Amino acid sequence: MTAVRTQPFPQLMGVEILSAEPTRVTAQMVVRPDLCTTGNILHGGAIMAFADGLGGLAAFLNLPAGASTTTVESKTNFFAAAREGETVTAETTPLHVGRRTSVWQTRISRADGKLVALVTQTQLVL
């Protein structure tokens, strides 16, 4: 998928897209040492960047021909830690898809099912 290949930052982070449809994007990422903070825990910024890339991809899949998108707002709630070596999985689904904006919710979970973070972001159609 071209949209995935044109996002170098998620590639740098090791994001693997599992599925990408207009109403659902799923991906996973291994928690590497270079993505961690003190105590070998996944950094909050890495969590937010993971979700942002997926929300942008989901928005892209819903764009009219010739349009592009950008994030204009993002909010993250953190619930549990993800430790180095674990794989986190994300699922992005739409809360709203309109002509000028779309709003996406990304749930990031550990392999044991524990919710790590919930991210809500708004994408502007350009």
Verdict on whether the full-model pTM lies above 0.85 = yes
Torsion sign over Cα 48, 54, 57, 63: negative
pLDDT score for 111:
97
pLDDT score for 7:
81
DSSP state of 12: H
Query: Which tens digits make up the pLDDT trace of 100-123?
Result: 999 999 999 999 999 999 999 999
Please determine, for residue 81, whether its predicted confidence score (pLDDT) is greater than 70. Answer: yes
Query: From the centroid of its chain, how far is CA 109?
Result: 12
Closest CA to 97 of 51, 71, 59: 59
Domain count, the chain: 1
- Domain of residue 56 covers 2-125
For the residues of 24-89, what is the DSSP string, one character each? EEEEEEE--GGGEETTTEE-HHHHHHHHHHHHHHHHHTTPPTT--EEEEEEEEEE-S--BTT-EEE
CATH code for the domain of 120: 3.10.129.10
Average pLDDT over residues 78-92: 98
Query: Which tens digits make up the pLDDT trace of 25-79?
Result: 999 999 999 999 999 999 999 999 999 999 999 999 999 999 999 999 999 999 9
